[in-house]
Amino acid sequence: MYDPRTPFEKKALEHVNMEISNGDFVTILGRTGSGKSTLLQLMNGVLRPTSGEVFVDGISTSEKKDSLFEIRRKVGLVFQYPEHQFFEENVFREIAFGPKNFGVENDELDKVVMEAIDLVGLSREVLSKSPFNLSGGEKRKVAIASVISCNPEYLVFDEPTSGLDPLSVRLFFDMLGKFRRSGKTIVIVTHSVKEALQNSERVIVISKGQIVFDGGVQEFIKSKNLMEWGMLPPPLYRLAWRVKEQVEKINIKNDKLSEAINRLKDMVN
Amino acid sequence: MIKFEHVFFQYEYDNLPILEDVNIEIGEGELIALLGLNGSGKTSFFKMINGLLKPSSGRVVVDGMDTKEENLLWDIRKRVGMIFQNPESQIVGTTVEEDVAFGMENIGVPREEMLKRVDQVLDFVGMSDLKHVEPHRLSGGQKQLLCVASTLAMHPKYMVMDEPTSMIDPINRENILKIIVDLYKFGKTVLFSTHILDEIVVTPRVIYLRNGKVVFDGSPVEVIDSVKEEFGTSDFIEFQSNLYRYGFIEHFMDVEKLSERLVSLCQSSSKR
């Protein structure tokens, strides 16, 4: 709840019960204003619940300050607008800031920064530049690198791919694949049903502050409630749904056409 | 007409060329999508058109006016409406109505006409009922629609939209895309950049920038075929590329038109 007991009181989330296990890859979907970002911010104690509790590896985010330090080290949060996170004079210092706070120094610090840069696919030339002079996509990568450099166990992303070109999106998910294989847990908030379908196994849908769906991706895409939740299925799915019923009884004699139609039918069957 | 003649550009603080020898003509009434990877120069390309950036060498000419001529900038900017990626950065009014009126006041539109246009453009973007709302209460998608409305109210001849759909949810994205197509149908010249490949199905022409150079300029089918290795593709586009290869379609289409086409193809195939 934001601003409780004031005229601006606003319930952002209600009765949320969920568990994210180690090694999960979860996508959280929902419309603008559904409470997605609030949910994310509860995960590393940027926000704390008005009632109820959030636990990270058994530690409650509502506990005293010392444990918050531990929680924030475990849960790396990448906000939606990366430029909001920048404050250093060059990219190197920006990425080094986090690990330095956690006590990493000298050669080890250089190594950590280089690894992070390589992982997100930025060239080393940017290290000496000001993060404010980069393109939108490069800024995003620097923001991700500055979280990865702290080596968190849980990586939480708020709309990580908005504004990224398709190649960067692919590289981004390749990168998440690497994290995943190294045992990290990944949570992503996005508008993109397509990305959820292609990359994660579990989807959580939030609508008006409540979890309205929590299950596998196949189960999710077949749900009839997508539009009601304010979500638009990817265009090929929409095409498949439109075409399927109308051609159901037609005996298509052209092989290539029949192939194309079958591809569509397979998507929604 | 908008003309780029041997346009080179680099920022003063940096030696990297942002645009390199760009030569392009944009005719009246065209709808063009600008594609390119992050940092390929799309935003700089757009900022050239209304003189927010000036070429380091070469010329950008809008309806015969060179953007380097300071005394012509006012006229150029009246013709070129710009919409930026982040709607937050261009909302100034304290209500939706005031925001729409702001630009018009600046260019001296008479009051009666202003009131009329406010209603027109808000109706066009589907926000008439939000006229008296404070902009900060709007969702991201609504804010972007407001920016479109405020710009349209000034009756620009060219609409230049820098990733207008990148920060909003899919349903509002569809709204913006529909508005882009409508503007084109009404005869406006529209340029927009996007990273969402599926959006290029609505345009007849795609310009592709690579490291500040225009490397492809043509129909979406042709351009995508040439750039999919470096830029990536989507299942929707790939599906349509195959249909194109087998001669089932002549160009990319949106979901609605494509479904009609497929159904009619199936029907005529079974009759044969």
> B139, B266, B267: best mutation site toward chain A, by most A Cβ within 10 Å?
B266
Contact A250, A55 (CB under 8 A): no
Inter-chain contact B263–A133, Cβ cutoff 8 Å?
no
Contact B5, B59 (CB under 8 A): yes
Inter-chain contact A253–B269, Cβ cutoff 8 Å?
yes
- What are the DSSP calls for A35-96, one per residue? SHHHHHHHHTTSS--SSS--EETTEETTS-HHHHHHHHHHEEEE-S-GGGG--SSSHHHHHH
Q: What is the pTM of this model?
A: 0.84
- What are the DSSP calls for B30-59, one per residue? -EEEEEE-TTSSHHHHHHHHTTSS--SEEE
Inter-chain contact A170–B163, Cβ cutoff 8 Å?
no
CA distance B143 to A51: 33
Q: What pLDDT is recorded for position A10? A: 67
- Residues in chain B with CB shorter than 8 Å from the CB of A166 are 195, 197, 231-234
3-state secondary structure at position B207: strand
The Cα-based distances of B38 to A44, A94, B167, B209, B230 in angstroms read 30, 20, 15, 10, 12
Q: Chain-wide mean pLDDT for chain A?
A: 85
Residue in chain B closest to A165 (alpha carbons) equals B195
Q: What pLDDT is recorded for position A180? A: 86
Name the B residues in 223-242 with CB < 8 Å from any A CB. 230-236, 239, 242
Residue in chain A closest to B37 (alpha carbons) equals A165
Residue with tokens 């070129």: B80
Inter-chain contact B231–A250, Cβ cutoff 8 Å?
no
Q: Does B12 touch chain A (CB under 8 A)?
A: no
Nearest to B11 by CA among A163, A135, A85: A135
Q: How many CB pairs under 8 A join A and B?
A: 127
Largest CA distance in chain B: 67
This model of the complex carries an ipTM of 0.85
Contact B187, B31 (CB under 8 A): no
Mean of pLDDT values over A72-93: 84
- What are the DSSP calls for A190-241, one per residue? ES-HHHHHHH-SEEEEEETTEEEEEEEHHHHHH-TTTTTTT----HHHHHHH
Give pLDDT tens digits along chain B (272 positions): 999 999 999 988 777 889 999 999 999 999 999 999 888 999 999 999 999 999 999 999 999 999 999 999 999 999 999 998 888 888 888 999 999 999 999 888 999 999 999 999 999 988 999 999 999 888 778 888 999 999 999 999 999 999 988 877 788 888 889 999 999 999 999 999 998 899 999 999 999 999 999 999 999 999 999 998 888 888 999 999 999 999 999 999 999 999 999 999 998 887 76
pLDDT over threshold 80, residue A162: no
The Cα-based distances of A184 to A20, A21, A25, A26, B167 in angstroms read 12, 10, 9, 12, 28
- Residues in chain A with CB shorter than 8 Å from the CB of B262 are 239, 243, 247, 257, 260-261, 264
